[in-house]
Chain A
């Protein structure tokens, strides 16, 4: 019997779905994708608020939904803790009673005591008698989390739980969730469109687009080694280009590609035969700026150069756009700390040298017909 939650959903409409995901107890799975990609729909189907045309949902081996066998357990009979995007607290009930409503299967005498404990766990002791409107956004989110946990759920569903609070509160809630999850023995599915949030909180990342799950895996791996150009674009990789595979150098654990006349050394990826066309991507963190005053050893690794065409200060960082081999071709994007840019006198028009770290060069199949704009 499978532990945790196992979901497979298929339907053509009204909202198309072709999603498969799995999450083990104690694990946080981040479901990411642009708005309208079907993230909330997947959560609603897991909760039983929506019935997909085909597929199945199993929680700890218990069947919640099986279209073929005609099984659809009602939402109120599934043990899910659902934190809605706008929390959906009962506006006329106090925080305490909001939580108590989720524990009706416990003896009435225990409920209040237990609800107070759950509220204390999310640091709301002393605010039990306030109605939601008398609580701040962050406090409302905590009531929603407490109510979800009070249900003693088999799976915890969080639908963009940080989107309705200000930045400072969000940072605090991240820390609290990270702390809380250590004690949680159930699978947690977090819906978000914020990749940094996913990177910070999740053990697993699942990329969803137009209802289709495209790739799942360890977050950093998905974000730096996407399976396809489509995923690369969804996880925000901007440096995506075409190249030809020259060959593999097993001794140096490297694959050699040719890009705009440069021979680049990439991490060994033998799945791509010499001679084939590929798409390659490099995360910005794997592009190293050469110091203009004092060249160093690292500059031998895949050096390229070109003029800075755009230089935009974003707080403590500077976003650079660099034209490599002509201004008409797609440029390289990288971000450097503002002080580095200052020390090297970097400004629009200045010629700079860069190293593309071999470890970061990731190859993907070139024939990705779903790509909206073909990179060159």
Chain B
């Protein structure tokens, strides 16, 4: 059992969720509320990581973050180390490939709120901030929770992008999904089996908790 790989995976998943949560709420809320020309294109662009082969996405991210790219050069000049093959680079890639998993459920969550409820909030004198905090976030909560769980579980399991952008540096970029692959390559099937079981368990608990919480909030709301 490669504990450092598991810890790294959990850390990566937690950071990805932490970054995408406010970003997803803001974007999901805006996309649910606004209607503008070219909205479909924006939505399509945000959904792109869903259909793109992970290696393709990984390749572009590698090129975009590499030492020859402006992003890579800027990062290196500020932090004194390359962005690719680092945890930070991996996190950036993870945030990008999780965008659809975070934004789409949240957008659906906000879209499910009846427009009259927002109107009622305005007529009650609620500020926009208070409406978001007291009315919209609690009502969109099932969508937000789904987004968190999907993002977390998906980060744990991502392989292609991680391998392309992060390589397989133990303690820095070697996630549990890659460790499992390494174990199999080394004919250590029992090691791979244990790690796979742990990953399965974590994913099952996360998704189970999400469904359970959603079902409970539905029962509470619909009597």
Contact = CB atoms under 8 A, between A and B. Distances in A.
Interface residues of A, number: 31
B219 to A, nearest CB: 10
Interface string A21-57: 0000000000000000000000010011100000000
By secondary structure, the B interface counts as: helix
B126 A91 contact: no
Nearest to A80: B123
B38 interface: no
Contacts of A82: 119-120, 123
Contacts of A76: 122-127
Interface string B168-210: 0000000000000000000000000000000000000000000
Interface string B143-185: 0000000000000000000000000000000000000000000
Contact of A75 (B122, B134, B135, B223): B122
B119 A92 contact: no
Interface of A: 44, 47-49, 74-77, 79-82, 84-86, 88-93, 101-102, 104-105, 131, 133-134, 147-148, 151
Contacts of A90: 117, 120-121, 134-135
Nearest 7 pairs between A and B by C-beta?
A88-B116, A75-B122, A88-B120, A133-B223, A102-B124, A82-B123, A134-B223
A134 B220 CA distance: 9
B143 to A, nearest CB: 14
B37 interface: no
B216 interface: no
Nearest to A90: B135
B220 A88 contact: no
Contacts of A74: 122
Contact of B139 (A85, A86, A92, A102): A92
B38 to A, nearest CB: 21
Given A92-B138, A133-B221, A84 B116 contact: yes
Contact of B123 (A92, A104, A151): A151
A146 to B, nearest CB: 12
Contacts of A88: 114, 116-117, 119-120
A151 to B, nearest CB: 6
Contact of A131 (B125, B139, B220): B220
Contacts of A134: 223
Contacts of B134: 90, 93, 101
Contacts of A79: 125
A322 B127 CA distance: 61
Contacts of B220: 92, 131
Given A91-B221, A133-B221, A101 B119 contact: no
B81 interface: no
Contacts of A49: 119, 122-123
Contacts of B223: 131, 133-134
